[in-house]
Amino acid sequence: MTAITNNLQVIEAKINDACVRVGRSRQDVTCIAVTKSVSVERTEEALQAGILHVGENRPEGLALKQQQIEKERAVWHYIGSLQTRKVKQVVNEVDYIHSLDRLSLAEEINKRATKTVKCFVQVNVSGENSKHGLTPEELQPFLHELTAFTHIEVVGLMTMAPNTEDEAIIRNVFQQLKQLQLQVQALQLDYAPCKELSMGMSGDFEIAIEEGATFVRIGTALVG
């Protein structure tokens, strides 16, 4: 594994270049280090290197990291699929949940939350069976059902691009998510400002930034 400072330099340059190519400000993109596959020590190294945002995809992994790293030292993101019965382990320990994808999950988050929880609604734009998330058609009806849940704020939409070499396919998925985000934002729902786009991972974050990502979730390329 290379030192995280080196990885971070490379990724920072790529993020910056992608922003420049499309005339965006670097400040509008937040880089989340996905630490789900690495140790507490490696996560600590990432924080020392200047990483502020950390993403975990299992309640157990989150708990493990938070047992040894003070919560105040990072902004914590829950990025994985979340079983309803495990919501209580996660909901008040993180700053963002990226995987809101069904009403039963929203109900449980709302019930267990002691403060407003910033959520991304996950959309399965590519339509792959293996992927979680609402279909684009389900998105708006779903959002309207969230009215009653006073502890949920929909800050944006999240998606995962298909695992393909075909850049055009990936780009198209990100463009579709951007269009959906604009449609939701235009509804002006007070509980769903929906200004953010969580999209882009190690293999495709530059395309995602070109297409409007405001949060990129980078694991392998950053922390190994």
Ligand X SMILES: *Cc1c(COP(=O)(O)O)cnc(C)c1O
Contact positions vs ligand X (CB under 6 A): 34, 36, 57, 79-80, 160, 201-203, 217-221
CB of 120 to ligand X, least distance (A): 10
Q: Which is nearer to ligand X, 91 or 161 (CB)?
A: 161
CB-nearest residue to ligand X: 219
Least distance in angstroms from the C-beta of 148 to ligand X: 27
**Which tokens hold the place of 89?**
């382990």
- Residue closer to ligand X by CB (options 101, 108) is 101
Give the residue with the Cβ less far from ligand X, 80 or 136. Answer: 80
**Alpha-carbon separation of residue 172 from 71, 168, 207 (angstroms):** 37, 6, 10
Nearest distance from residue 144's CB to ligand X, in Å? 26
Smallest separation (angstroms) from ligand X to the CB of 64: 16
Q: Work out how close the CB of 78 gets to ligand X at its nearest, in angstroms, rounded to a whole number.
A: 10
For residue 213, which of 168, 137, 160 has the smallest C-alpha distance?
A: 160
Are the C-beta atoms of residues 78 and 99 closer than 8 Å to each other?
Answer: yes
Judged by beta carbon, residue 140 or residue 202, the one nearer ligand X is 202
Nearest residue (CB) to ligand X, 150 versus 163: 163
b vs e for 2-13, b when ≥16 Cβ sit within 10 Å of the residue's Cβ?
Answer: eebeebbeebee
114-107-158 Cα angle (round to 5): 90
Beta bridge partners of 173: none
Tell me phi and psi for residue 75, to 5 degrees.
-100, 125
Main-chain dihedrals φ then ψ at residue 99, nearest 5 degrees: -125, 35
> Which CB sits closer to ligand X, 178 or 217?
217
Task: Work out how close the CB of 162 gets to ligand X at its nearest, in angstroms, rounded to a whole number.
Answer: 13
Q: Give 157's strand partners.
A: 121, 197
Whose structure tokens read 């399965």? 124
Rounded to whole angstroms, how far apart are CA atoms 109 and 148?
Answer: 12
